[in-house]
Amino acid sequence: MKRPDVLSAAQDAVMGLREDDYASPQANFDNIAKHWSIIFGVDVTAAQVCLAMITLKAARLDTTPTHDDSWVDIAGYAAIGSEVAR
């Protein structure tokens, strides 16, 4: 996949129907952070959720570096992380 294609696919993912399914990125990642905080016994932020998801996708790319979906997801999580970190 070329850079414009990755970024376009990531934009479609983060600006598309997922918000209808899961609420706004801020609300969704705050909710995930709340659950992870309970599970891990430490405070987790929405931005840390994004970082963890980026790391998960990067670890998957260690095994399959040509899996375009993981690259797209990393770009999407980076965009959401930039927003929720504020």
CA distance 53 to 29: 11
pTM value is 0.91
In the chain, the number of structural domains is 1
**Mean of pLDDT values over 12-28:** 86
Range of the domain at 34: 3-84
Residues 6+ apart with CB under 8 A from 61: 67, 70, 71
- State yes or no: pLDDT of 72 exceeds 80: yes
CA distance 27 to 33: 10
pLDDT of 69 reads: 95
**Mean of pLDDT values over 35-48:** 98
pLDDT of 85 reads: 93
Give 50 or 21, the one with higher predicted confidence: 50
Residue 8 corresponds to which tokens in the numbers above? 């376009």
pLDDT of 34 reads: 98
